[in-house]
Amino acid sequence: MKIPTVLTFTLAVVGWVAGVRAQSFSRVVNNQPQWTAQCSKLANLTPPKGSMSLKKFYLEKLKNASVTAYRFVPGEPRPTVYQLSMPKLERQEWLKGLVPQPRAYKNPKEWVFIDPSKTSADPDWARYHVPDLGFSEDSCCGCDDAEAFRLRQVLSYQDGAFLIQNLLIAPLCARRSAKGSLDWYPLCEVAYCDQPLESGTLTFIGTDVLDYQLNRDCKPVTRVEKNLVKLVMHDFQAGRLQVTGAEGSENIPVTEFLTWDMPVDTLVEYDGAGNARWKTVRKERSLNAEYRFRIEQDFYFNAANEKLYSRVKSVLLMEPIFLPNGQLRGYRPLYRLEKLR
């Protein structure tokens, strides 16, 4: 049974892909960023105890009034603005008594719905599993208490500084899939923010750590330099960026960005007379490897104009780890990056 919705379309429109490229990107910093990408991320916006719940804020508006939402038409550069209400949006019965809980690991970002009356050692403790990838198109029915949101972000980099702009957010509701697990269904896209500069009275929503896989969940749209790791290395060498070990306690020498903590090979060298001597050579990492950036960010919400802002707290460069057969095993934190003021 479909949930009745009330849709009132207006003629107002706002800039999106083409408009953002032409206008908003240039406002991310004082000049054109060296690197920008459009990213789609799954975020956990669970608030601290006693703080505002963004999920409840939008569910209450959908049930009791309406929200200003945005819809994208394929091929169109601008989204349409409309008013959306869901007066019969209720908690789904099959989730009754279950509590949503994000997994402890940071990537991929997954959730489970647990039975709080059981222990984690009980096989029935985690009743449903929601993977990071994939979204449901099933609009029926209801929602839940998971503070899960899909974020449309613009990630920018300029002179050692990372900046994140939350263009739109979508509250997510769990839906049962044919495989027995769950998928996320985006109720609607709200909170359009066409510039990253904070304004008005802000409420702290929470903190999350998101991994950005370049050329995977982030699509670079920059025209200057597509290799972000190369830009980071150049800014480090130019003195605009401080690079330390992942724990932040060991400063990395400027000349060792590509060789720090890499394996050492022992080679034999021969001089002109044929005399041999041993030489140690440290391997260099490739700038073209599939790195990730792990960015911890605080989220702040302006309830008056419904805009969500991100403040970058820390940035880790994550390095891929491979098995001897060349298969990707995972990622490890390599460097902590901090802009020098």
Of 337 and 136, more confident? 337
Position 86: which residue type?
M
Q: How far is residue 331's CA from residue 235's CA, in Å, rounded to a whole number?
A: 23
Position 28 pLDDT exceeds 60 = no
More confident site: 9 or 90: 90
* CA pair distance 290, 268, nearest whole angstrom: 32
Tens digit of each residue's pLDDT (9 = 90 or more) over 116-163: 999 999 999 999 988 877 788 888 788 999 999 999 999 999 999 999
Alpha helix ranges (H) inside the chain: 17-19, 25-27, 54-64, 228-237
pLDDT of residue 103: 85
Lookup result for tokens 């050579």: 281
Of 167, 115, 171, 166, the closest CA to residue 312 belongs to 166
DSSP-derived secondary structure letter, 52: P
User: How many Å apart are CA 297 and CA 31, to the nearest integer?
Assistant: 23
pLDDT of 245 reads 95
Q: Return the pLDDT at 268.
A: 82
The residues near 21 (Cβ < 8 Å, ≥ 6 apart) are: 221
* pLDDT above 70 (res 267): yes
In the three-class reduction of DSSP (H, G, I as helix; E, B as strand; rest coil), residue 298 is classed as strand
62, containing H or E segment: helix 54-64
Q: Is the pLDDT of residue 1 over 90?
A: no
- Alpha-carbon gap, residue 254 to 260, rounded angstroms: 10
Q: What is the pLDDT of residues 39-98, one digit of tens each?
A: 999 999 999 988 899 999 999 999 999 999 998 778 877 778 999 999 989 888 889 999
**pLDDT band of 24, cuts 50, 70, 90:** very low
Mean pLDDT computed over every residue of the chain: 85
Measured distance CA(142)–CA(173) in Å, rounded: 8
pTM of the predicted model as reported, rounded to 2 decimal places: 0.85
Q: How confident is the model at residue 225 (pLDDT cuts 50, 70, 90)?
A: confident
